[in-house]
Structure 1
Amino acid sequence: MASETFILGGYQTDFARNWMRQGQQIPDILTEIVEGALEETGVPAHEIETGHVGNFAAELYAMQGHLGAFLVQTHPAFRGLPTSRHEAACASGSMAILAASAEIEAGRYDVALVAGIEHMKTVDAAAGGEFLGTAAWYEKEAKGVAFPFPALFGKLGDEYEQRYGLSADHLTRISDINFENARRNPLAQTREWPANPEKMQQVLTGRIRICDASQVTDGAVAVVLASKAYTERYIASRGGDARGVSKIEGWGHRTATMSFAEKMAESATAPYVLPHTRRAIVDAFKRAGIEDAWSLDAIETHDCFTTSEYMAIDHFGITEPGESWKAIEDGTIAFDGKLPINPSGGLIGAGHPVGATGVRQLLDAHRQVVGSAGAYQVAGARRVATLNLGGSGTTSACFVVGSAS
């Protein structure tokens, strides 16, 4: 079939690093992840035919646009390589993946390199919050607000509380699980953080505490995607061993209105708080040929805040709408549970370099299904889904990744 995209592997930076302190900038990091991905996969640089970069706000954080040109600069064989940069707030990485896979499925190219990158530790918290506010409707939702996204995702929790009821204890358990999982991940930002329960309970705004929030992260990830024809040759060149290869089995992509208030008004009579997110998940399931979440072995979801993971639990269909608490209380989503969520540590534990998150999720899904996730490997994982959100649940992207062997 022409309409298949395979994942050959990739590379992730250590999300605990601070690039400014190390004297590194975006071109340096792009070079690192490209070299790492080529080494990891064994794909020769001259066989890469197209490149895509996911990034949210390099113009703000690093005063730098036109990142596709820096991708070309990472290797002499890339001179003249067709590249582009993609932005959809925190779902930017997934947009780059969708664009690359669409080119492969259309038969334009056989091999694509996808990079996701964000250099965030260039400004203080106030300026960073201001920059992130542009992922919402800045003039209406973020201008003059100290922490616009904690406020918006706090309102998501408020909506759950109003419709179904919501306990802070369940959000705390989500946070605890992600931090616990991150300790197993050698690239997670918080893997060595000491326990500080008093600080973690400090309130940022509304119902959102420090423990409920994802991290400000410098991070980058690259993956190599390929067509079926190229992948067959790739496997044959390695003695017919397909165990290190995975496949994008299904995808979903939906976009809601920018305004959070409008989203809530539109879903007021619907069972799901974010219907477009639910549709993206269902679309991915349908394209993958699976009926529901119980065909999955793990999920990497967008826990920019604990409230977004709480939402994802019922939107994946793990529970009925409004009953996400059941999967938390019975241990379903724990690392050793029936359907682990964020074995990597997620955005809260592993880190959230905005433009790189979707690519990191895909790489972690790949690592799970090929059995290379190391200490955070979910036993027997053969199929893993990702959910990547941009804005206040505005852009939703879901991938289902399965083993190719």
Structure 2
Amino acid sequence: MSEPVYIIGVGRTDFRRNLRKKGKTIRNLIVEAGAAAIADAGIEPSAIGAAMVGNFAAGLFAHQLHLGAFAAEIDPALRGLPTMHVEAACASGGVAVLSGARQIMGGLSDVVLVIGVEQQKTMPPQEGSEVLSAAADYSEERATYGDFLFPKLFARIAQVYAERYGLSEEQLAKVAVKNIAHAHLNPLAQMREADLTLERARVASDANPIIAPPLKVSDCSQITDGAAALVLCSESFFRKLRPRHASRLRGFGHTTDYLSLERKEIPSFPIAAKAAAQAYAMAGIGPQEIDGAEVHDCFSISEIVQYELLGFAAAGGGVALLESGATALPSGRCPVNAGGGLVGDGHPVGATGVRQVVEAHQQLTGQAGARQIAGAKHFLTCNIGGSFTTTVVTIWEGAQGVT
């Protein structure tokens, strides 16, 4: 990596809130998360040289675009800042993080503010599902699959996986149960007070209906309002500031596949796996050296597939890894989605990739509280857009030499 990139501050909002009911808008989310990250970094806002805003569909959900302008409302010193709105469906946040990191790596800025944001609780679920369908190949796949397009796309992935390797509804349910249990340890998680037992998750009922066989409501991520933010900086700025808590980008990968699911290789997704290979190669480490991970569990099957494409398990071995307890707190070898993931913490689409990196930083700096992974040295995030269309994998490590 030409120029090391550090995280020196993070912030996020409470994902359980409904902004519309509180009379607030996406503007408030951007300002709250951004201000929290700057305060956490302990820097003057005037030190920031650029800002990235990751967002998927604010123009449809909230009738608001031109989101970079709201960065100026965090502090008057940010007025005049160059900003960029980054969109890559559910990977918008991850791509925003890489866009900010590349500003530093390219020597364009010493300090970059990255914010991911989405306000989704602005319309009924079916209308919201229609907005999310824009992340698929809408003109072709909407005609084939109909309403609630994304649950049906991931149900298709689950069906192919089951045909090839075997997969039960109880095994899918174990992903959701694990991640809801992890959310209980996260004071800002959307589902921190949810009660989900394995029996409730594996059996279809009025409270947990099948939405697209074999997926039930409990297999699906949340509809969420939220934002997360990072302050990234260069090595020279890091050395001058000498922050108390910092983490460093060790490696990353970023790939884009065909938009339509049926044009991809299900369930191996080699283009997505290529992003992981890029990240490991840049970091100079392998899957066995990852101490914790945040993966994109938009649906329960998604987490199982990512165990395999990230190299945590061999092809067809994801279920066995899950059932071994290796990915669960408190004693798993590599806890996955310790913050609750998309199922437990929430999925404000444009914020998710940034929120994953916030979790990485907190884990690596010992600030994760009750969900802390003991001795975590290397942490991986995997942010997916569409049906494994855009994939962003990052690997982080605790920064050395800080006081």
- With the shorter chain as reference, the TM-score category is over 0.9
Partner of 1:286: 281
1:376-404: CA deviation from partner (whole Å, max 9, x where unpaired): 11111111100000001000000001000
Partner of 1:78: 78
2:228 maps to 1:221 = yes
Which amino acid in structure 2 is aligned with residue 95 of structure 1? Answer: V
Partner of 1:20: 20
Measured after TM superposition, the shift of residue 314 of structure 1 is: 1.1
Over the matched positions of the two proteins, sequence identity in percent amounts to 40
Measured after TM superposition, the shift of residue 74 of structure 1 is: 2.4
2:11 maps to 1:11 = yes
2:211 maps to 1:210 = no
2:328 maps to 1:325 = no
Deviates further, 69-78 or 212-221 = 69-78
List runs of 5+ in structure 2 lacking aligned partners: none
SS of residue paired to 1:400: strand
Distance of 2:173 and 2:339 partners within structure 1? 18
SS of residue paired to 2:43: coil
Partner of 1:231: 238
Please point out which of 347, 351, 354 is paired with 1:356. 351
2:309 maps to 1:302 = no
Measured after TM superposition, the shift of residue 25 of structure 1 is: 0.6
After TM superposition, the score normalised by the length of structure 1 is 0.94
After TM superposition, the score normalised by the length of structure 2 is 0.95
User: Aligned Cα RMSD in Å?
Assistant: 1.4
SS of residue paired to 1:142: helix
Runs of 4+ with deviation above 4 angstroms:
none
Measured after TM superposition, the shift of residue 199 of structure 1 is: 5.1
Measured after TM superposition, the shift of residue 72 of structure 1 is: 2.1
Distance of 1:29 and 1:134 partners within structure 2? 23
Partner of 1:249: 250
Show the 5 A alignment for 1:179-218.
179-195=180-196, 197=200, 198=205, 201-218=208-225
Q: Quick check: 1:7–1:245 contact (8 Å CA) kept in 2?
A: yes
Measured after TM superposition, the shift of residue 201 of structure 1 is: 3.8
Deviates further, 171-180 or 197-206 = 197-206
Show the 5 A alignment for 1:87-98.
87-98=87-98
Measured after TM superposition, the shift of residue 200 of structure 1 is: 5.7
1:261-284: CA deviation from partner (whole Å, max 9, x where unpaired): 0113xx6xxxx6210111101110
Distance of 1:312 and 1:321 partners within structure 2? 10
1:163-204: CA deviation from partner (whole Å, max 9, x where unpaired): 222222211111110000000000000001234724564201
Q: Quick check: 2:9–2:231 contact (8 Å CA) kept in 1?
A: yes
Q: Quick check: 1:2–1:227 contact (8 Å CA) kept in 2?
A: no
Measured after TM superposition, the shift of residue 159 of structure 1 is: 1.4
Measured after TM superposition, the shift of residue 31 of structure 1 is: 1.3
User: Relative to 1, partners in 2 of residues 1:245 and 1:200: Cα closer, same or farther, differing over 3 Å?
Assistant: farther
Partner of 1:145: 146
Partner of 2:372: 377
SS of residue paired to 1:303: coil
Measured after TM superposition, the shift of residue 293 of structure 1 is: 1.2
Measured after TM superposition, the shift of residue 300 of structure 1 is: 0.3
Partner of 1:68: 68
Measured after TM superposition, the shift of residue 162 of structure 1 is: 2.0
Partner of 1:177: 178
Q: Quick check: 1:191–1:350 contact (8 Å CA) kept in 2?
A: yes
Q: Quick check: 1:200–1:211 contact (8 Å CA) kept in 2?
A: no
1:6-48: CA deviation from partner (whole Å, max 9, x where unpaired): 0112101000000001111111221111211111111110001
SS of residue paired to 1:33: helix
Which amino acid in structure 2 is aligned with residue 362 of structure 1? Answer: V
Distance of 1:231 and 1:289 partners within structure 2? 22
User: Relative to 1, partners in 2 of residues 1:375 and 1:80: Cα closer, same or farther, differing over 3 Å?
Assistant: same
1:66-114: CA deviation from partner (whole Å, max 9, x where unpaired): 1111212321001110001000000000111111111100111000000
2:47 maps to 1:40 = no
Partner of 2:309: 315
Which amino acid in structure 2 is aligned with residue 51 of structure 1? Answer: A
Show the 5 A alignment for 1:100-119.
100-119=100-119
Which amino acid in structure 1 is aligned with residue 21 of structure 2? Answer: R
Question: Would you say how many aligned residue pairs link Structure 1 and Structure 2?
Answer: 392
Distance of 2:14 and 2:356 partners within structure 1? 14
User: Relative to 1, partners in 2 of residues 1:195 and 1:319: Cα closer, same or farther, differing over 3 Å?
Assistant: closer
Q: Quick check: 1:2–1:228 contact (8 Å CA) kept in 2?
A: no
Partner of 1:99: 99
Measured after TM superposition, the shift of residue 323 of structure 1 is: 1.4
